[in-house]
Structure 1
Amino acid sequence: MTQPATSNTNNRPETSISILNCLLILIFRLLLLGVGSGLALIFGIVVANAYPNPNPEKPLILKLLEHLDNKQESRFFNFSSIREPTEANLLKQLTPVQRVQVKAQLSELDKRLKRLSEDVTMLETQLGTSGGNESLEKRIQGITLLLKEPSTLSSDAPLVGNSNGNRLAASAADKLKVTLPSDILFQKSKSTLRPEAGLILDKIVTDLQAYPGSTIRIAIHTDNPREAKENRNLSFERAKAVQQYLSSALDDSYRWLIIGYGETRPLVANDTEVNQQRNRRVEIAVD
């Protein structure tokens, strides 16, 4: 009965030794495989450097990785890569010849703009106005409004009188009519003529000499920053100042009609500085 027990005990050490031998063999083979692969890689690099392929191709592993990357990018498309064309991109599309042409055109436009600005400034100086910080377009518009002929006189109740102070009715038929901005003849809120106003009025005297014995109508208009009565009085005093200057240069055959309209005959609404300047005007006409 004791003989079988002794046999089982002797078989256990043999089994443990065989498992250990298998593990050692496996480790040795793995080490041998790693060393062999490393030596093969080094040998391949040396051969590739010594004898390069005239038509090289990417390794299969790299092709496989790129293929996988392309699939990944197509799955998650980056919409931020789509950009609207910018000025820089548009400039890049121009050829060198086109760039030179565009620069030449810009230079010519800049010169024209400077010449136009100088011409507008000259006109403003002649008219006694100033555009200030307004754009060039608004300054031209203001000059155009100042030079535009006023509308026909209507029948409200302005201050009307002749050189002796008698009230008269104004005629509607004009043989000669001149309209000037008040700012070139008078200082602001003043009824005395500017020193340089004589240069302008002397030219009008020359025109009036062609109408001896005629009735000369002088009408003054203001804007509305003051009281209506004050504006009428100011316009009437200004009309008298113009009449006195012209009559001193003409003979006694002329008759005079002076009118102070004040603010009652605006050409446009007095809501901007340009419009107020347009409404401040002097009208000299031969009736």
Structure 2
Amino acid sequence: MRSIQTSLFSLCLCLFSSFNPSAFADTNKTALFKEASQALNAANAAQANILAPKGYALGSEHYQKAEVLYAKQKQKERITKELTRATDALKLAAKNAELARLTFAATLKARNDAKGVDSQRLAGDLWQDGEESLLYAATKLEDGNLKRAKSKATDAEKQYRAAELSAIQSSYLDEARKLIKQARKEKVDRHAPKTLLNAETLLADAEKELAENRYDVDYPRSLAKQARYEAKHSLYLAEMVKQLDRGKLTTEEFLLDIEKPLINIATALDMVASFDQGFDVVATSLVQNIESLRADAYELGERKKELSQLESDISTLEKRMGIQSQRIAEQEAQKESLRQVSELFKRNEAVVMTEGRNILIRAVGLTFNPGSSHINSNNFALLQKLKQAAALYPGYSLLIEGHTDAFGGDSANLNLSFARAESVKEYLRTNIDSSTQIDAIGYGETRPIANNETKEGRARNRRIDLVLRPPL
């Protein structure tokens, strides 16, 4: 009898262990929740919370129950049951949301337009009315009541348009009105009458368009933005004219100030802005240069596409030949090294780029006193970073290139550039593995990267380049 009791006790203990909740603690949540999580993400992407609210709420409720059960380490069967219900409900909600997107297309466009002008903040009550109407329409669509759904969606569209209109009036029109009122108060019409009149005309046109066609606000919104700009413009111009009238700014100073922005643009484009023939010649030259750069960028983009296709073809061939994985590993290692080198330097210290298989580090922050090749102490930190960069490429040789601007004699510049490259070489030599090959060369003014006719261009041309070359 005692042996039978012992056996029954052992059996009960075994059964209890098999259903022990703590035994579920190690179950992989990611794998268990995978399908339900994917369904939830798809429903969120479809905006099912707005377009299929009942189904989305049901699915979310089951998903949350599964989360709670998992946190409490309940039986897997109970969790799986809730996840299955969640998945089914969320998938149906996503499907219904896509149907609602087609059915409520006009309403959703109105909603997006209203959202684009910050109606939630500027016309909160009207926006909320639209949200409630859309939610009701979506619910009726889920119930199969298409007629009621469309009717309520039409109400929502009107409410969103009203919210958009109110927001436009609150932001664009009201601000334009305030600016024009300020301009009148400051008697801008005495100094910039044409610009102020333009602002007033644009504002009147915007108000007229909104009144006559209140549900097509794209054009009046554009007019209102222009009116706001022209009002600000008139205030600025009036102030400049006042300064001229008061003698605080001479006509010459005024014209020279106007030249400065064009000079800055020209400098960025590595051009020289010459105003001896007026502004139009400079502006035309700038436009032509920009258009040329745009064309070059487009051409480069096309070449990149071709290169990408060629690389894809090569990848396919190499894969067939069984050498793909090794090549990918090498490329990834090279990319990682290049990333690490780039992160060593601030923008005002060095620029890192590739030239074929070589790594070029343009040390823009490495400066010398005029006519000197002596390394100043303020360069030590940057030189230390150059040493760290070289250490990331073991086995590579180093070539230190010295460059100058075009000012000074050719021979003197050549000697100076070499002397500076040698100074950098000697500094690095004392701080780098003795087995590393380091060479120095001076190019003088023969390899400019910028326009030597501008101060900024000459500064860019005076540089030290460090070239890391892979072993042959």
Pick the TM interval, shorter chain.
0.3 to 0.5
Higher-strand-fraction structure: 1
Quick check: which has more Rg, 1 or 2? Answer: 1
Higher-helix-fraction structure: 2
